[in-house]
Chains A and B, each alone.
Chain A
Amino acid sequence: MTEPDAGARFTEMYAAHHEQVYAYAVSRAGRQLADDVVSETFLVAWRRLSAVPETPLPWLLVTARNVVHGRYRAEIRQASLAAELRAWVDEADADVADGVAERSAVLAALARLSESDRELLTLVAWQGLSNREAAHVVGCSVATFFVRLHRARKRLEEAMGEAPSTFDLKEFSR
């Protein structure tokens, strides 16, 4: 059942992509749950290795996405993510380097967006996916993806323009 080179292929795939899968997991579910998501994702990948395409990253992220959605109650995931988003802003605030105010502002704005806007933006900005790959991960057509991304960018801009008064964590889950 196991191909002779399956182990080697799997190990290579893991080495090449686990960091990206981890980053995705953190951005969607927070560090508290990320390890679990990564393990689960690669377990599925191993078991279905023959189904994993030559360019595995989008496939892995789709799987991670399914794991994130299927594995945790929404409240649990959102609580973990809330802690994560807050940590980012706090650390950006604590940083003394140049341009931190803007970094902190953009992260705070990101935290105020809806989950789906946040997903699109981080896939493009942080995962380095092409629009086509990102569309695949979120399960829509490339055309639809462009429209959604455009709107998400706009909302991010708007959120940055808002008075960053208090960082209201209640708002970002929905």
Chain B
Amino acid sequence: MSRHRDVVQLLSEARPAQLDRGLSIDLTTITAFPQEAPTRKTNTRRLVLAAGLVPTVAAAAAVAVTVAQNPAAPTPRPTLSQRTAPADKPATAQQFLLVAAEQVAVGEAATGRYWTTTTEHGETRQVGPKAGPYDIVLRMTAERWMASSPKDKSWEFYQSLGAAPATAADKEAWKRDGSPAQWTEPAPKGMKPIVIAAAGGPRRLRTPGGMGPRDYLLGGQPISPAALSALPDDPAALKAYLVRKHKDTGGLEGRNDYLFNSADALVLELPVTPEVRAAAYKLIAGLDGITSLGTVTDQHGRKGVAVAYTRRGDAGARAQTRLIIDPRTGHALAEESWHLGARDKLMSYTLITGAAWSDDAPPSK
């Protein structure tokens, strides 16, 4: 036993200095946010839920998405691309990606005061009684105004769209469960359980007072807007850059996974030039494990071609990321995470419903 104590003692003495560092948060940016009334439980819970959800989204970091589709702020589609619209579907994922790269690269390199995006995110959760569990999908939308200049604040709005049974079978199970209008998720001991409401919530501003300059995330590492705009637009150079970054991470994530995730973020979420996006498509086309699933519809019913990247997860489970691309424009429409098994299951998705540069002032709420 004493040996055990020693090793923890040793660990305690080896406490890295990196854990200690003064942190400068302006508390008024927090306390300006309204507090939840303790009595209105539904609200409080919804907030917690939202707090849990937004993040998944923000996973790609502070973030933005790329496709130009915002009806409110229309961005001209590359007309030239229409020419190459593949009425005849390319046979393989590689061929399709190369065509997509060709199409996307003809767009003009725009810039503006804000990179604005609107996205919808969904996540599947299992709920219900142990005897008859079923899946529900939680949905939310996010609208982001990411400032180009460090002098401007960035803004993020989000809104819960509520939750509903995932499939017809899940709906039956939900009815057997008594058609609840909310679900409770177990929380750590001593914590109030989190309640997921079927009803949506109001639109909310995420960070009161706006957010200061923020880096984007590429392959899990922060990257400044300036560094993003300086990315090489040659596929081989882009790959070499990402391979170097991958080494910096210590190679925890497999190299292929890292390259796919990074390139995926470039085509889907990050404000880069069409040329860089095209290079990212070509990079993906050159990766092992890429397959085409042909024409699919995204969660909004929009048609696109799905390119799938499959990797083996824990305990031999297979996880698949599907990148859905509009074959007419080469723009990414959505990303979906699937768990492959006896029955494939959609675990989460992100839909790009709009993305454009804007010089307008962000909405106040």
Instruction: Answer whether residue A129 sits at the interface, using C-beta atoms and an 8 A cutoff.
Output: no
- The CA of A46 and the CA of B31, in the complex, are separated in Å by 7
B10 touches A102 (CB 8 A): yes
**Set of chain B residues within 8 Å of A135, measured between Cβ atoms:** 189
Instruction: Answer whether residue A156 sits at the interface, using C-beta atoms and an 8 A cutoff.
Output: yes
Instruction: Given A71-B56, A76-B220, answer yes or no on A124-B8 (Cβ-Cβ < 8 Å).
Output: yes
Per-position 1/0 for B5-21, Cβ under 8 A of A: 00111111111111111
Instruction: Answer whether residue A57 sits at the interface, using C-beta atoms and an 8 A cutoff.
Output: no
A87 touches B8 (CB 8 A): no
Per-position 1/0 for B125-151, Cβ under 8 A of A: 000000000000000000000000000
- The CA of A172 and the CA of B250, in the complex, are separated in Å by 11
A47 touches B188 (CB 8 A): no
B252 touches A126 (CB 8 A): no
B59 touches A72 (CB 8 A): yes
Total number of B residues with any Cβ neighbor in A under 8 Å: 64
Instruction: Answer whether residue A153 sits at the interface, using C-beta atoms and an 8 A cutoff.
Output: yes
**Set of chain A residues within 8 Å of B8, measured between Cβ atoms:** 121, 124-125, 153, 156
Q: List 8 tightest A-B contacts by C-beta distance, closest first.
A: A71-B55, A79-B220, A139-B188, A169-B250, A82-B252, A50-B38, A23-B19, A103-B14
Chain A residues within CB distance 8 Å of chain B = 1-2, 6-7, 10-11, 14, 18-19, 22-23, 26-27, 31-32, 35, 38-40, 42-44, 46-51, 58-59, 62, 65-67, 70-73, 75-88, 91-92, 99, 102-104, 106-107, 110, 121-122, 124-126, 135-141, 150, 153-154, 156-157, 160, 169-170, 172-174
Instruction: Supply 15 A–B pairs (Cβ within 8 Å), ascending by A.
Output: A1-B35, A1-B37, A2-B34, A18-B25, A22-B19, A27-B19, A59-B190, A62-B188, A75-B257, A79-B250, A80-B220, A91-B17, A92-B14, A169-B251, A170-B251
